[in-house]
Amino acid sequence: MLRPERMRRLLIAAPQGEIETVVSELYRHNVYHIEDFVPESESPDGLSIGHPLPGASDAASALIKVRAIESAAGIDPENVEARAKIPASKVRAMMRTDLPAIQEEAEGLIASRSRLETQQKEHEQRAKELEPFTVVPLDLELYRGYTRFTVFTGHVAHDVDIDVPHEKYFSDKTAGNMIVVVVQAEHREPVERALLDAGFQAVPVPDGTGSPAELRNAHLADAGRIGDEITAVNTRIAEFRERRTDFLVACDELLTADVERAEAPLRFATTEETFITEGWVPEGQADRIREALERATNGRIYIEELEIDDDTAVPVEYENPSFSKPTQVLMDIYARPRYSEIDPTLMVAIVFPIFFGMILGDVGYGTVLLALSLGLRKFLKGDAGRMLLKVLGIASISSIVFGILYSEFLGFSLPWPALIFSRHLNIGGAAGGHGPQVVELMIVAIWIGILHITFGRILGMINARRLYHGKHATQAVIAHAGWLGVMWGILLLIWSFFPIPMMPDLTGLPVVVMGLNVSAVAGVVLLLAGIIGIAQENALEVVELPTIISHVLSYARLVAVGLSSVAIAMVVNYISIGMIIEPQLETITPLGVIIIIAGIIVFLLGHVLNTALGLLGGGLHSIRLHYVEFFTKFYKGGGKKYNPFGMKPKFMEE
């Protein structure tokens, strides 16, 4: 909690003969984060990268085959729900006996589908080419084979008068009109010019004989028949998927494991007779893996624990109570914490839902979002997606709680007055009570900002002592104190001149010097000391001073975004109920019923839109306040992800 899991750095060395045992033992435990060996040209000890274990290329090519079948059949192992775990030995046996047949079956099905699709396209293309000719009462063979006549066929903007002897068919029953003109070859040029003036576009005469309409219908019938065949093949592919998914994903998993194991030596340093690997193990697991390795190799292994000298090299794994685990996904979007700094996941997990609730405090919207987060769990199978849904679930519960406090339900008020500050705007003349308490809400938001930022700066001091050493650490701590001094100095100055509701009123304190009272003097002193404190670390930072005001005021969005959401909800209610539905309820007529239904549609559409806006506004602004206003005060981030060598088998067991 509040800091990443403690790690131990292990160096493992063993004879080459034990490499397979060690690799499979490490893989089975799934806790060892391998530090890849990078050979340096000047390294004197003759260390080089290891060679893959025998069988690596076989496993890799088998894996490619399995993945090809999976993608052809539309199987995505990420989204497959594990039904029963197949023993690895059985998977291996089936891979030898069944896999070739399965591959053949899959390839056959896919090939026949693509062949049928090509055929279908061809028939459809032919039918399309014949389409314009179906409106002309001529058989196809009549268009061809003349030596003394020229045949024009094509689309034209309008009918054309031709002043030489000719035979002509015109129809406007098809898209773009269709014209067929037959003239003697010597009149070809004037006729062509006349046609071109009318926007003539030649259409080639399709192959074939007989009536174009019959021919086209035959092609369409063929295309339809082939479409049925494609459906049949698709059903067979679906059946194949149904039958084979379990086996294929188990194969995929087993082969992935094989390949990873076989290629592990590529990440080790080797000499002719031995290999060496460095890596990281969580503190709680270190002794167990040590014993396991010694037992597996009968003691033919050397394991040493190394000092941790560089904190950026340590892989970082979160260590959080289960309540704040889903919030890790929000941390990873920004940056994973560094090994020695404070992990703020827990604070985000507590404050984020509160901010979300403050913005979208509405029982109705909260319930809808809670239902959404529970309902979508069935469809989203990825880890990150599920964690986000859990975060949304917690946030929407907070939204319901704040909705009860604000007394809001889809913009209507609940049967009690607002328990904290009211956000009921005066829209449609419906507001009762004392109207919206915007100023009070703003001041509360500013207070939250002041406290959140102060907290962030204090964390900044703690972090500075953990991350830096010696003089730099002291300077950084003083700079953080300086920022706090400037902020509180400005606050004291403001309080000493202006009485602000819900904030200390210091205007009445005794005047000391130059018309300034005690708190104003204290404020000036704090402000100046703060600026010196900031400047002693980095003088350029002084230009950042205005951000103190902008960051504190930024918390006003907690109120502003929320109020806009309330306003939209109330406007939707007023338009749909006040303006459309209620006037119709006085005397019910058939037309009135339709208008009422339209009003209900407006109501639903408006609230769906506002739910989406509320989710976006509430979520993005709350997380932004953390990323921009809170994290910039103390958080460095940039830790490496802890990625242990091994896997948690989902579909098979070894």
Partner 1 sequence: MVDVGTTLEMVQASQMGMQAIGAGLAVGLTGLGTGIAELGIGAAAVGATAENRDVFGLALLLTVIPETIVIFGLVVALLLLF
Q: Which residues bind partner 1 (CB under 8 A)?
A: 333-335, 436, 438-439, 442, 547, 550, 553-554, 556-557, 559-560, 624, 627-628, 631-632, 637
Judged by CB, which is closer to partner 1: 59, or 441? 441
Q: What is the dihedral of CA 10, 13, 18, 22, to 10 degrees?
A: 10
Query: First vs last Cα of the chain: how many Å apart?
Result: 33
The CB-of-60 to partner 1 minimum distance in angstroms stands at 27
The token pair at 266 is 């590529």
The CB-of-438 to partner 1 minimum distance in angstroms stands at 4
Judged by CB, which is closer to partner 1: 334, or 455? 334
Determine the Cα–Cα distance for residues 2 and 324; give it in Å rounded to an integer. Answer: 11
CA atoms lying within 13 Å on the CB side of residue 286:
18
In terms of Cα–Cα distance, which of 549, 407, 399, 436 is closest to 483?
549
The token pair at 384 is 């990150």
Judged by CB, which is closer to partner 1: 244, or 621? 621
Judged by CB, which is closer to partner 1: 156, or 570? 570
Secondary structure string (H, E, C) spanning 307-342: CCCCHHHCEECCCCCHHHHHHHHHHHHHCCCCCCCC
The CB-of-271 to partner 1 minimum distance in angstroms stands at 36
The CB-of-632 to partner 1 minimum distance in angstroms stands at 7
Determine the Cα–Cα distance for residues 394 and 326; give it in Å rounded to an integer. Answer: 10
Q: Name residue 282's beta-bridge partners.
A: 7
Secondary structure string (H, E, C) spanning 45-75: CCCEECCCCCCHHHHHHHHHHHHHHHHHHCC
The CB-of-435 to partner 1 minimum distance in angstroms stands at 9
The CB-of-556 to partner 1 minimum distance in angstroms stands at 6
The CB-of-89 to partner 1 minimum distance in angstroms stands at 40
Spacing of C-alpha 364 from chain mean position: 26
User: 23 and 265 in contact (C-beta within 8 Å)?
Assistant: yes
Determine the Cα–Cα distance for residues 169 and 159; give it in Å rounded to an integer. Answer: 9
Judged by CB, which is closer to partner 1: 248, or 442? 442
The token pair at 575 is 């338009």
Please list the helix, strand and coil fractions of the chain in percent, rounded to the nearest 5, in that order. Answer: 60, 10, 25
The CB-of-451 to partner 1 minimum distance in angstroms stands at 18
Query: How many residues does this entry show for the chain?
Result: 654
Q: Which one-letter DSSP state was computed for residue 129?
A: H
Judged by CB, which is closer to partner 1: 4, or 449? 449
Tokens 């394991």 correspond to 303
Judged by CB, which is closer to partner 1: 402, or 555? 555
Judged by CB, which is closer to partner 1: 439, or 609? 439
Judged by CB, which is closer to partner 1: 1, or 549? 549
Determine the Cα–Cα distance for residues 632 and 413; give it in Å rounded to an integer. Answer: 38
Judged by CB, which is closer to partner 1: 227, or 637? 637
- In Å, the largest CA–CA distance within the chain is 118
The CB-of-624 to partner 1 minimum distance in angstroms stands at 6
Question: Mapping DSSP to helix (H, G, I), strand (E, B) and coil, where does residue 647 land?
Answer: coil
Judged by CB, which is closer to partner 1: 578, or 637? 637
Phi/psi-derived region of residue 637, left when phi > 0, alpha when psi is between -120 and 50, beta in every other case: left
> CA 627 → CA 1, 199, 456, distances in Å?
20, 63, 11
Phi/psi-derived region of residue 501, left when phi > 0, alpha when psi is between -120 and 50, beta in every other case: beta
The CB-of-581 to partner 1 minimum distance in angstroms stands at 29
The CB-of-563 to partner 1 minimum distance in angstroms stands at 9
Judged by CB, which is closer to partner 1: 553, or 608? 553
The CB-of-628 to partner 1 minimum distance in angstroms stands at 5
The CB-of-333 to partner 1 minimum distance in angstroms stands at 6
Q: Name residue 179's beta-bridge partners.
A: 154, 170
User: 279 and 35 in contact (C-beta within 8 Å)?
Assistant: yes
> CA 607 → CA 365, 599, 616, distances in Å?
9, 12, 14
The CB-of-272 to partner 1 minimum distance in angstroms stands at 39
Judged by CB, which is closer to partner 1: 439, or 612? 439
Q: Name residue 315's beta-bridge partners.
A: 640
> CA 600 → CA 220, 581, 587, 624, distances in Å?
45, 8, 18, 35
Judged by CB, which is closer to partner 1: 439, or 593? 439
